[in-house]
Structure 1
């Protein structure tokens, strides 16, 4: 009798372990199998002159780990777009690291195919920013690739003439193809969120809706910061002819804009009907240009590999700053260490005819502060 009871207990325990494991696998599946951000690691821009690689779309698209089946189909149809996509993601990650260089989370990348490591599992405002900035950067990169004639399916912008443009000015210079860049990026990036069927109102659906919203916010940022650029033509600067065209902003301008959106990101939750709703009714409704997130950020003050937090110990801080890069906030109240560095460099150089340069040696002492 006792052995039968033990046997039943073992069966129930095994079933419970299987259910928990399957549930955790299900929760992790969309993001731990790699990320499309991984395309930045392949340096496709440098490989684009290899005709043997780019003539075989199956080889090219198979090398990009992290793509879903839908993204692989797009890759095979538009193989010449992939170097622009790869370069766009890479520049987006670099811009992320620039924007957060003085913050507790500094957009650290990992060595695996998820690119951002365990952070991709957390539906935080940091994840929201990574989706927005990469989507924006890819849209920017593809739009300019069209303008430069590097893609077979698009060319210069065919945007309509702005209504408020001076009637004597000529519209039709070779502008950045914002429309094509937007549509291609929407199809390539968002397809991974649309093709996987999930339960309505589930956490997985909430994550899909969050990703799509932030991807769109990144593309909207490119549109919002675009402008009309004009140039004079004529003899001796007479400006007898003025030509205007559509021009996109720099990624730095877009990054500054999205960082402000990150600071004002809105916490949301998914309803039973499968819609994103405000977590706090006192907040204002987010627009399509705003960033949204589902979960609180982890504690970036201390190292926690399972959460993707490297901590701030050893990070350089600004002793005189009262901002987030200051030693008080960046070091999370732990204090900081000060190290004096002596630098010798050439200075006061003078050129003597002919032909030598004589310089003095200047000695500077710098202080470097790092978090404890």
Structure 2
């Protein structure tokens, strides 16, 4: 990967101008820089910045988590989520599928890391989620479920706290929510958070002598962030193009045959660049020089990644461990062998 993704532009004024979006993109390279501008306001984000420095650190961690996941999910695409030469900032000035994915993954990353910090006791003012425990255990007593069976217990992950703080930091900056870019952005923030909330799962542990599991305690846990990234990538592939609604406060699908997007779906209002050729204005480096897979029909295949251009094959010699043997006790000894690897590059 060439570089690390920078956080998406989060400051918006209405009416929208290219200058305002450009300055916003340059301003919010990270949450700490956002805080410098927000400290004198009376927003919820200002309260976080002024009074909760620990929370800001977890927000920063969430953005970093989102950066890494975006680059993993887009590693084979023509635009690979790079921030080199301000690519990401220029992509984020528009309202494309790529913009929608990055907005969603950042909202998810912040929600995820803040929720985990709460569960670990690293956040002041929050607690683990026991509301479900009380409801389920009360239901078990009503149903006369025998004791020694199982119970909701322990410290479930408080996803509602993570969602609230993600909203405080991202959404509350938008006082006017009627312009198209803001409506789309806020929708994709919600989709990112729902990719976590809608897929919380039950995790149980057994208690008892010799693994007898006479008592089993269960709690609610978030899915792994890789699962969240995979899910949002699927939403990206099926994202719906939308246009402003007649009321000026909503959007609708562009075509009559397109199914109205749910809250969990990603949306966009502008077509993406094909990213085949260098275009500084659009943040595209082109795909010349990218490594591709000659045999793959997918995104990483030379046919798609090279945009119909030719590819050239090369070989290189790499060293790897081979002929490994186990020696009692307890070493593994290997030889170093040379291996010739073939790869292709877009022309």
TM-score bin, normalised by smaller chain: 0.7 to 0.9
| Aligned residue in 2 for 1:100 | 74
Deviations 1:311-366 (A, max 9, x none): 11111111110111101110001111111102244432457899999754422111
DSSP 3-state at the match of 2:62: helix
**Cα separation, 2, equivalents of 1:306 and 1:182:** 34
TM-aligned CA distance change 1:351 to 1:255, over 3 Å? closer
Which of 279, 282, 287 is residue 304 of structure 1 equivalent to? Answer: 279
TM-score, with normalisation over the residues of structure 1? 0.79
1:1-372 map, 5 Å: 26-34=17-25, 38-39=29-30, 61-62=35-36, 69=41, 70=43, 71-110=45-84, 116-161=88-133, 167=145, 168-192=149-173, 194-195=174-175, 197=176, 205-274=179-248, 275-350=250-325, 360-372=335-347
> Which consecutive residues of structure 2, in runs of 5 or more, have no partner in the other structure?
1-13
For CA contacts below 8 A with separation 6 or more, give which structure has more relative contact order. Answer: 2
**Cα separation, 2, equivalents of 1:356 and 1:160:** 49
Please identify, of 87-96 and 74-83, the stretch whose mean Cα deviation from structure 2 is larger.
74-83
Task: Report if aligned partners of 2:291, 2:345 keep a CA contact under 8 Å in 1.
Answer: yes
CA RMSD of aligned residues (A): 3.0
TM-aligned CA distance change 1:314 to 1:111, over 3 Å? closer
**Cα separation, 1, equivalents of 2:200 and 2:112:** 10
Task: Report if aligned partners of 2:28, 2:34 keep a CA contact under 8 Å in 1.
Answer: no
Q: How many residues align?
A: 322
CA positional deviation for 1:61: 3.4
Task: Report if aligned partners of 1:352, 1:358 keep a CA contact under 8 Å in 2.
Answer: yes
Considering fraction of residues, name the structure with more helix.
1
